[in-house]
Structure 1
Amino acid sequence: MIPLAFKDNFSRQAALYAQFRPVYSPELYAYLASLTLAHELAWDCGTGNGQAALSLAQFYARVVATDPSPQQLSHCRPHERVSYRVEQAEHTDLAAHSADLVTAATALHWFHFEAFYAEVRRVLKPGGVLAAWAYGVPTLTPAVDAVVRRLHDVTLDPYWQPENRLIDSGYATIPFPFQHIPSPVFSYEKPLNRLDLLGYLNTWSATQRFLSAEGYNPTEQVAQELQVIWPDAATQHVATWKLVLKVGRVSDAR
């Protein structure tokens, strides 16, 4: 099979991604595990540096974590129950009807939907579950939020790709041809100091595209603005990311 085109938006900042990207709440994984009858195998596709895969290993005997970026996978933490593979989400070496759960953590919007869903149907057991989630712009304090929003909505606006905007719309326009499972609302909170926030903003794909196109980093201006309203760099504010979550069951996998 000829590999589908892969938009590599994260290899360049893979180290930053591993250091500054948020993880996800333990309650999310416990909820997803409650939806599958068996807990033999979970496939985490678009795993990045393995944030979701490691948490899934608490609930599943084996986790296969795939990503098309070797640079991202080089930052994954080893785990005895997790196997990392350089593979695209649309085509894997996983056996047919082998997985109880398939997850896509802040990744679904980058996939070729039709091909990916065909692979999900092939890999999942009958009755298996697909869960895809993503997070948008975090909230901290009103003053900090205004600076971050200006970066996101104004400075970087020309550099966000159509796939990024699918998150802004809450995944509402993404096709999801599975039996919908109504789910709770999840969020993730993490205390950040000023440098943590700037590191996170540098993981944004639009930040890196701006840097490539304009020759300077747009977060330099953000850093100056934040220093005024956040003078002590070591002071922490709680950042909250609200998750967009789509969950479905495959009853006719074949």
Structure 2
Amino acid sequence: MAGIFDKQAETYLQARPTYPCEWYSMLAARTSHHSLAWDVGTGNGQAALGVAEHYERVVATDISEAQLSFAIPHPRVCYVHTPQSMSEDEMVALMGGENCVDLITVATAVHWFDHPKFYKLAKRLLRNPGGIIAVWGYNDVVVNPEFDTVSKRIWEASIQFSHSNSRQIIDGYRNLPFPFESVGLGHEGKPMQLEIPKELLFEGYLKLLKSSSPINLAKEQGVDLLSEEVIKELESSWGGPNLVRTVTYKAFMLVGTITE
């Protein structure tokens, strides 16, 4: 999936939300140590920066060099390109050995992973006992009834261009395999429901749409879901280009640990 987001890497950085500070405090409170965290599929480091406020060292990895080129520097975050060719043992060595990671985070990316392979690796790396893994994502943005009606039409039209992996995030991770013991923050089949508030100008919302993989896949196939006419309709229902609105991203999270 590395190439899926390469073309819109810079737009992705500008458009995607940061995650609430409370999330990282909530996760840190459930790990027994705070030495090492691994942010997988880090993209440009949005989650890694939040994790770094609670852990001595964060290794933030991604298979997309384009995304990592926009990663935001932090003294406790080490960004590493991990191509698909890396073996499981090489990944374990990169992290410092088995049973050493206090927290694994995957922010809006786990649906792209080879789940059996990733979960096997996660279980080798997680500190046992005391380590946890948290995966989360979001699949909707609520603004107001008028605007939501227009935007819903666009999102529904884009579904047919979605990669098969995207179905899991469309379903809110309710069908995502998650073979870990619950720590009270969602469990397999029933993710914890969350919200991410963010203030945006219309331009910010438009960048979110333009960073969407289905929108870009549609365009590659000759279907422009964001025509000039559609953008004008969206802008009008937003209330104009200079109006700042508080939007709400509908999010969901699964957090677990290993018991064996």
Same fold (TM over 0.5): yes
Aligned positions of 1:45-194 closer than 5 A? 45-87=40-82, 91=88, 92=91, 93-94=94-95, 95-127=97-129, 128-154=131-157, 156-183=158-185, 185-194=193-202
Q: Pick from 220, 241, 259: which aligns with 1:251?
A: 259
Percent sequence identity over matched residues?
35
Aligned to 1:211: 219
CA contact (8 A) 1:201 1:219 kept: no
Superposition deviation, residue 163 in structure 1: 1.4
Letter in 1 for 2:66: Q
C-alpha distance in 1, partners of 2:57/2:227? 40
C-alpha distance in 2, partners of 1:39/1:113? 26
C-alpha distance in 2, partners of 1:49/1:173? 27
Other structure's SS at 1:121 match: helix
Letter in 2 for 1:226: L
**Structure 1, unpaired ranges of 5+:** 1-5
Superposition deviation, residue 167 in structure 1: 1.3
Q: Pick from 208, 217, 237: which aligns with 1:229?
A: 237
Letter in 2 for 1:249: T
**Structure 2, unpaired ranges of 5+:** 186-191
CA contact (8 A) 1:42 1:100 kept: yes
Bigger drift between 213-222 and 162-171 goes to 213-222
Superposition deviation, residue 144 in structure 1: 1.0
Other structure's SS at 2:70 match: coil
CA contact (8 A) 2:218 2:225 kept: yes
Bigger drift between 185-194 and 51-60 goes to 185-194
Other structure's SS at 2:197 match: strand
1:174-207, Cα deviation, whole Å (9 max, x unpaired): 1111101222643110111111111110010011
Other structure's SS at 1:66 match: strand
1:119-146, Cα deviation, whole Å (9 max, x unpaired): 1011111021010000011000111111
C-alpha distance in 1, partners of 2:46/2:257? 23
Superposition deviation, residue 217 in structure 1: 5.5
CA contact (8 A) 1:7 1:110 kept: no
Aligned to 1:3: none
Q: Give the aligned length.
A: 246
Superposition deviation, residue 106 in structure 1: 0.3
C-alpha distance in 2, partners of 1:157/1:112? 22
TM-score, normalised by the number of residues in structure 2: 0.90
Residues 55 and 96 of structure 1, relative CA distance in 2, 3 Å threshold: same
The alignment yields a C-alpha RMSD, in angstroms, of: 1.6
